[in-house]
């Protein structure tokens, strides 16, 4: 049976919730996507432990059981990268296989471009960055951000009346979510408040970033990656018009498409994903 432990580690001044599977030294670290949590890699992690790896995941700032930024804070991508830079040395004193999904993949691209010596390999699961964002006009974007933050701070969040209600909401975007996985994620993604349950993520995540994503700038980061990279996409995932162009910028990369699955590959095809990861990791041992 796989042992699972949880702990809090301080990185960039915030207490990060960390999950570790197995008893081996950590050599695989998972980074979840937008409004997801570290626990969502549970099934993948257990398969990798069975394959001989030590696996850890964590909740990004403002997600799950990791602290929010606090007064005056916000969530910019360089903040995530600094969090990761201070967290990884506490998980392992050796280079690791870094795996990022979606938003987590974008942060991992930035980290790999800056800290190649810390990595054995990089895996991007639907993580080649978002499409070019609109509006691009800086003034319009800033107005939308200011208005969004003001709205979030003035709004009272209505509690949900139980985990089944949480699961129903999660199934709006992912109707195939099973009871087993859905209720696990519901229990780990919410906290008890007066009147029911509330999401643990910081509502500021629901606002537009004041800095729109720029594919040209992100492309420079992709070009700077020297780490062997596995790119995993779902057949029905969030595919980009310039996907091949972005992939081509990474010097050493392998592409895998998982058939019959959408964006949340680690939720719905964990065994297939774990098999692909184990094979890739095996080609890039220390």
Q: Annotate the chain with three-state secondary structure.
A: CCCEEEEEEEECCEEEEEEEECCCCCCEEEECCCCCCHHHHHHHHHHHHHCCCCEEEECCCCCCCCCCCCCCCCCCHHHHHHHHHHHHHHHCCCCEEEEEECHHHHHHHHHHHHCHHHEEEEEEECCCCCCCCCCCCHHHHHHHHHHHHHHHHHCCCCCECCHHHHHHHHHHHCCCCCHHHHHHHHHHCEEEECCEEEECCCHHHHCCCCCCCCHHHHHHHHHHCCCCEEEEEECCCCCCCCHHHHHHCCCCEEEEEECCCCCCHHHHCHHHHHHHHHHHHHCCCC
Percent of the chain with pLDDT strictly greater than 90: 91
Q: Assign 48 a pLDDT band (cuts: 50, 70, 90).
A: very high
Residue 27 pLDDT exceeds 90: yes
pLDDT digits (tens, 9 = 90+) for 179-238: 999 999 999 999 999 999 999 999 999 998 898 888 999 999 999 999 999 999 999 999
The answer to whether 105 and 81 have CB atoms below 8 angstroms apart is no
Q: Indicate the pairing of strand 14-21 with strand 55-58.
A: antiparallel
pLDDT digits (tens, 9 = 90+) for 70-116: 889 999 999 999 999 999 999 999 999 999 999 999 999 999 999 99
* Global pTM value: 0.96
Domains identified in the chain and CATH numbers: 4-132+214-282 (3.40.50.1820), 136-212 (no CATH)
Residue 134 pLDDT exceeds 80: no
CA angle 201, 119, 230 (to 5 degrees): 80
């Amino acid at each position: 049976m796989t042992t699972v432990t949880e702990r809090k580690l301080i990185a960039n001044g915030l207490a990060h919730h960390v999950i570790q599977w197995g008893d081996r030294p950590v050599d695989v670290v998972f980074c979840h996507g937008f409004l997801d949590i570290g626990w969502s890699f549970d099934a993948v992690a257990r398969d990798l432990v069975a394959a001989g790896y030590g696996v850890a995941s964590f909740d990004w700032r403002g997600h799950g059981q990791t602290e929010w930024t606090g007064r005056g804070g916000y969530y910019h991508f360089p903040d995530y990268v600094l969090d990761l830079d201070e967290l990884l040395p506490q998980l392992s004193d050796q280079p690791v296989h870094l795996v990022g999904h979606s938003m987590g993949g974008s942060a991992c691209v930035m980290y790999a471009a800056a800290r190649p010596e810390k990595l054995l390999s990089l895996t991007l699961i639907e993580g080649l960055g978002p499409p070019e964002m609109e509006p691009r006009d800086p003034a319009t974007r800033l107005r939308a951000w200011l208005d969004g933050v003001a709205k979030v701070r003035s709004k009272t969040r209505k509690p949900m009346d139980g985990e089944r209600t949480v699961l129903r909401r999660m199934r709006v975007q992912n109707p195939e979510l099973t009871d087993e996985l859905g209720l696990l994620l519901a229990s780990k993604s919410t906290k008890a408040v007066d009147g029911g349950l509330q999401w643990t993520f910081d509502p500021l995540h629901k606002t537009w970033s004041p800095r729109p994503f720029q594919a040209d700038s992100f492309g420079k980061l992709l070009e700077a990656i020297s780490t062997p990279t596995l790119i995993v996409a779902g057949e029905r995932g969030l595919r980009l018009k310039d996907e091949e162009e972005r992939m081509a910028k990474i010097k050493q990369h392998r592409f895998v498409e998982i058939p019959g699955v959408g964006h949340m590959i680690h939720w719905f095809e964990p065994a297939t994903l774990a098999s692909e990861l184990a094979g890739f990791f095996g080609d890039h041992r220390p």
